[in-house]
Amino acid sequence: MESYVTYPHFGPLTLLFKAIFQELEVPEERIINPSPPSKRTLEIGSENSPEWMCTPFKLSLGSLIECIERGANHVFQIGGIGTCRASCYGPVQRVITEDLGYDVKYTNIDYHLPLEMMKDLRSVSNNFSAWQSIKALRKIWVKNYSLDLTEHLINFYRGVEIEKGKTDKVAKEVYDKLFSIRKVKEVKRFHKQIPGIFKKEVQIDEDADPLKIGIIGEIYVVLEPMLHLDLYRRLNNLGVICRNTVSLKKFTDLPAKLNPFVKEYYKIYREKARPYIQQYCGGDGQESIGATILLRELGWDGMVHVWPFSCMPELSAQSVIPSVTNDYGMPVLPMIVDEQTGEAGFQTRLEAYVDMLKIKRENERQGKPKEKISWETFNYD
């Protein structure tokens, strides 16, 4: 039987997953790429999931079922031994799709073990040797850097752009360019150019005095627009610049993991969080707290904490966050999302939060002049 590979939709990183299979030389017609999730996706997913399962499970299941309907029969999903339910996704979804009557093979990837991950991916490649697959995957993690950078740039420029919609146009061009490059060297060269492209193309409002808001929470929700209800765009439209604090780099950044001199971003967060949550409690709970502290120290104005209903690690973080807010004076807006979250209430809360932060900032400034905005001061990587 010929295998048609597929994988769940995962926000902007979907492009990356697609590139993985392309690099492994899986024939183009054998890759079934998930389309951006719609309401229907979430509906199919929720219908077939356990009621209290976390929302990312439901959405990714919906996304997979849609792909399976389109002919896919080999699914790549998370598996292995985890801490929270995330690593159950593959195994449980296997049982569910089996029950629905689909004959699908699952390859569950344990993201904690980069080498195992490589082996699993190699199995679909065009008879790649280990070295060849490392070379192929190297392109992916290099592109991951650029992808993250572009995301941060979008969320910065869109908040202060003069011509509405310009940033999105530029971003699309950057993405297209990025995923058409095949050579690592060129990707690296292009990576350096990306901030320049935005600077040149997007005119920013020099008088703007945007709030700076960080987004913390569970990785899937933070990255998937369908689940966070386009939070970034909503914030940008309120004249706020924002950035997410989680990235897939946490798992895939092999060079940083091997290099003893590089401190991975998530480790910095975890260290900051240690007085509040001492040990890793699954998911991104610790990182959420660490990022709040770090961004406060960098002078940011506030945080939005998005997490799926019934998420265990974020719930632990949520219990401690009021103390962090108290100790550091960093307000955090909790936003629990699930398949029924209404947009009206979401928007009202965001608006009220932004109003509140503006008042707070005015008071803290005590009449001091505002900082001049630029990408260089905004970026803290």
Compute φ and ψ for 221, nearest 5 degrees.
-70, -40
Interacting residues with another protein between 180 and 219 (CB under 8 A): 209
Using CB under 8 A as the binding rule, the residues of this chain from 19 to 58 that contact another protein are 38-41, 49-54
Q: How far apart are CA 110 and CA 90, in angstroms?
A: 10
Q: Nearest distance from residue 350's CB to another protein, in Å?
A: 9
Applying CB under 8 A, among 27, 255, 322, 380 the residue interacting with another protein is 322
Residue from the set 58, 74, 94, 305 that interacts with another protein by CB under 8 A: 94
Q: How far apart are CA 202 and CA 312, in angstroms?
A: 40
What is the contact mask toward another protein in residues 113 to 152, using x (rule: CB under 8 A)?
Answer: ---x---x--------------------------------
From 15-23, 83-91, 186-194, 256-264, give the range in contact with another protein by CB under 8 A.
83-91
Cβ proximity to another protein: between 81 and 258 the closer is: 81
Nearer to another protein, 294 or 320 (CB): 320
Which listed range, 138-146, 198-206, 263-271, 326-334, lies at the site for another protein (CB under 8 A)? 326-334
Q: Which of 8, 34, 56, 79 binds another protein (CB under 8 A)?
A: 79
- Smallest distance from the beta carbon of 287 to another protein, in angstroms? 13
Tell me which of 8, 56, 217, 313 binds another protein, using CB under 8 A: 313
Comparison of 126 and 319: residue with beta carbon closer to another protein: 319
Q: Does 345 bind another protein (CB under 8 A)?
A: yes
Nearest to 345 by CA among 234, 266, 205: 234
x/- letters, 220..259, toward another protein (CB under 8 A): ----------x-----------------------------
The burial class, CB within 10 Å (0-12 / 13-18 / 19+), for 39 is: exposed
Task: Considering only the stretches 135-143, 180-188, 316-324, 371-379, report the one whose residues sit in contact with another protein under the rule CB under 8 A.
Answer: 316-324
Beta strand 211-217 with 105-109 is unpaired
CB-nearer residue toward another protein: 177 or 360: 360
Window contacting another protein (CB under 8 A); options: 2-10, 22-30, 96-104, 129-137: 96-104
The smaller minimum CB distance to another protein, of residues 56 and 195, is found at 56
Binding another protein (rule: CB under 8 A), the pick from 167, 236, 244, 318 is: 318
Nearer residue to another protein within complex by CB, 182 or 365: 365
Closer of 54 and 181 to another protein (Cβ) = 54
